[in-house]
Amino acid sequence: MTGLPVIWLTTTGARTGYQRTVPLVGLPDGEQFVLIATNFGKPNHPAWYHNLKANPYASIRSNGTQIYCRAQELEGSEYDRVWHKAVERYHGYAIYAARTKRRKIPVLSLTPIATDADSYHLDLVS
């Protein structure tokens, strides 16, 4: 996955309420970042996906900047557009999709709502 843009995603745990941070590939899409919930082709969605479904407010660190975002799962033609763009960028996504025959891999878009310069705190929107 060399050369892919890595971000640090911080979510609020769906069950625990604790902050959880994981490194992920965050594909830029205009002003947004896209996350592909492949979980490397495992049968279940990754924990961070469940966290974002329970609480869509999160933060990412990208290029030294903290950005607060709201996540939204993509569907329909927008899903198709972003999924194909992601597979073009990294063919591994198609391999993971083939491994996980039982589930459709979720695609989420993170829309920035503030940066660290905005004196915004993740816990205010949780």
Helix or strand holding residue 107 (H, E):
strand 107-115
Proportion of the chain above pLDDT 70, given as a percent: 89
What pTM, to 2 d.p., does this model score?
A: 0.87
Proportion of the chain above pLDDT 90, given as a percent: 79
CA 113: distance to chain centroid? 15
Q: Residue 118 CB: number of other CB atoms within 10 A?
A: 11
Listed by start position, the domains of the chain span: 17-116
| Residue at token pair 């069950």 | 15
- The pLDDT score that the predictor gives to residue 106 is 97
Across the chain, mean pLDDT equals 89
Mean pLDDT value across residues 84-96: 94
> Is 90 exceeded by the pLDDT of residue 91?
yes
Fold of 17-116: Pnp Oxidase; Chain A (2.30.110)
- Dist. CA 18–CA 35, nearest whole Å: 21
